[in-house]
Amino acid sequence: MKKFIGLFCFLLIIYGVLMTSQVVGMVNKQREAGASSIDWARIEKAVIDNNYNLLERVGLNGIVCLGAAILIISGGIDLSIGSVVGLSATLLAMLLRNEDYGWHPVPAILVVLLMGSLIGLINGLLVTKVRVQAFVVTLCGLFVFRGAARWVARDNVKGLGVQYDGLTEVLYKSESLGLPRSVIYFLVLAIIAAVFLHLSIYGRYLYAIGNNERAARYSGIATDRYKLVAYVICSTLAALYGVLYLMKHNSAQPSSDGNFLELYAIAGAVLGGCSLRGGEGNILGVFIGTAILILLPNLTNMIGIPSSLEYTVIGGALLLGAILDEVLRRFGTVQK
C-alpha cells in the first residue's frame, strides 16, 4: 500500500507541475502579446481541453497496459503488442472499406477481436506446449504480424474516408458522462480485471503461477491453461486497441501504427508496480503507471525539455522505478 501511495503522490506532483506550467506559460504569452488584462476564460478552456486530451490518451493506452499487466503478473511477456495493433487496425479498415471487402461493422470488429484472441492462443501454446521462451515467441511475432499487416495492405495506407463518420463518433469520439469514450472503456475493463484478479480464485492462480510456476503446478493448478488465458487476454486487448485506434484516426498505416507500443504497455505496467519477475501487480497501480507514462512527455514539453528527449525521460523514469522496486524489495527482506 505504501508503494501505491508513493506512486499516487508522484502522479499528483507531475500533474500539479504540468498544470502550473501550462497556466504560467499562457499568462506569460498574453503579457508578451501586450494584453491589458489576463483572459482567464481562455486559459481555463485550454486547461480543460488539455485535461480531456490527457484523459483520452490515458484511457486508450490503459487498455494495452492492462493486458500487459495481466500477462506480466502470470510471469509472461508480449513484445508483439504493437504489431498486433497495426495488423488489427489495418485488417479492420480493409474489411470496412467498400474498395476492399465492405463488411458490416459488427462482424468486421468481431473478426478482428477473434484474430487477436487467436494470436494470443498461438503465443500461449508455443510458450506452454512447445516450451519456447516467451521473449523469443513474441519477438518473432513482432516481425511476423508487422510483415503480415504490410503484406495484406500492400504497404498502403487504408483510410475509412467519411463513410464511417457515424461509426467513429459512436464508438470513440462521443463522450459518456462528460468523459472521453476511451476512458469509459478502460474503466469498465479495469473493473472486470480487478474482480478477476483480486476477487476470484482464478486471478489468485495467475499470481501463484507468476510467483512460482513449479510450486503452483505441484499444488494442482493447471498452469498451462491459465497462462494461455493471460496471453489471450493480452492479445485481445491489443486488437481492441487497434479497433479504437482506427476509430480515432480514421486510417491505418500498416508500416508504423503501433510501433513501440509494446514498450509503452510494459512500461506502464512496471511503473504501476508490476514486477517483471511475475506474481506482483495491482489494477490501481496500472492506472497510476499509465497516467504517469502519459503525463511525463507532456510535462517535458511544458517545462521546455526538447521533445527529442521524450524517450530519455520515459526510460529514466522506468529505470528509476525499477531501482526503487529492487531497493524496497531488499529493504523489506532485511526487515523481515
What digits encode the pLDDT tens for the residues 223-254? 999 999 999 999 999 999 999 999 999 999 99
The pLDDT score that the predictor gives to residue 14 is 85
DSSP letter, residue 308 = G
Encode pLDDT of 81-134 as tens digits.
999 999 999 999 999 998 889 899 999 999 999 999 999 999 999 999 999 999
Percent of the chain with pLDDT over 70: 95
Mean pLDDT (whole number) for 65-88: 96
Q: What is the pTM of this model?
A: 0.92
Q: Measuring CA to CA, which residue among 109, 90, 96, 101 is closest to residue 153?
A: 90
**Chain CA centroid to CA 20, Å:** 27
d(CA 275, CA 16): 28
Q: What b/e readout covers 132-142, taking b as 16+ CB neighbours within 10 angstroms?
A: eebeebbbebb
Alpha helices by DSSP H, the chain: 2-32, 40-73, 81-96, 105-128, 134-152, 165-168, 181-198, 201-211, 213-218, 223-249, 261-271, 283-302, 310-335
Residue 327 cell numbers, joined: 531497493
